[in-house]
Structures are given as C-alpha cells and as structure tokens.
Amino acid sequence: FQKSLNETFGADRYSEARKEVLTNMFSRPMQMALYFCTGVLEDETLFRHYALNVPFYTHFTSPIRRYADIVVHRLLSASLGTSAPIRMEKEAIQLQADHCNDRKMASKRVQELSADLFFAVFVRVRA
C-alpha cells in the first residue's frame, strides 16, 4: 500500500500530506483499541488482539506519554509484585479507562475532521 502511494504521489510539496490523509482515511474502518479494567469485564474474548492473534493482550507505551500508560505500568508492576498494590477499586480504574477512551475518541474525531477538510481543499484546488 505504502509503495503504491509513493509511486502515485511523487515528490511535490504536498505529496506527503496527501499520502498521510489517504493513509488515515484507509485506516478508519479498523476497530479502535479501548482501555478497560479486566476485573470489570467478564467476557475474556474482549482481551484478545485480533491482528496479532493472541488471546490476552495489554498495550502501553512509555509512561511519559499518556496517563493511561502510567496506570497500565503501575498495574503491571503491582501484578508482577515489583511494586505496592494499587489502592484503587476496579470500578474506579474502569472510570479512568472510560475517560481515557472518551478523550482518545474525541482526539481521533478532530483528526478525521481535519483530514476531511484538507482533502476537500485538495479536491477543490485540483478541480
């Protein structure tokens, strides 16, 4: 896909922006990952990662990036016994996860609207 985009758009001053917009548009249908507290969900099939084909999956990045990643690091550390247990009820953790999901969805929506605007301007200029 990336090779096709590179060959199609060449190297003019807007080519990178056009490729990024189209890449974002093509990836929209993919299901967005959600944060959740495993102690709240009863259906363990929701823990799996479809693309990686693993039954239990936890995603996180550097804890300096997002609050959700800090929580995941702390919970993993506590579950491995390398730090003190977290003093939060699972329902409170789920409320934090819901809030992080809401903010992530809002951010994604703004990104999509921005891409739509850029694409509309691009099409209008090219017409």
51 and 85 within one domain: yes
pLDDT tens-digit profile of 47-106?
Answer: 888 777 888 888 777 777 788 888 888 888 998 999 999 898 999 999 999 999 999 899
Cα 109 to its chain centre, rounded Å, is 12
**In percent, how much of the chain has pLDDT > 90?**
19
55 and 22 within one domain: no
23 and 58 within one domain: no
66 and 7 within one domain: no
Contact 15, 9 (CB under 8 A): yes
79 and 58 within one domain: yes
72 and 50 within one domain: yes
Tokens of 84: 């003190």
The number of beta carbons lying within 10 Å of the beta carbon of residue 71 is 20
56 and 25 within one domain: no
106 and 66 within one domain: yes
pLDDT at 106 (0 to 100): 94
Identify the domain containing residue 22 by its residue range: 1-29
pLDDT at 27 (0 to 100): 65
pLDDT at 93 (0 to 100): 92
Residue for token pair 């003093």: 87
pLDDT at 6 (0 to 100): 67
The number of beta carbons lying within 10 Å of the beta carbon of residue 115 is 18
Q: Report the number of distinct structural domains present in the chain.
A: 2
68 and 83 within one domain: yes
43 and 23 within one domain: no
115 and 97 within one domain: yes
68 and 21 within one domain: no
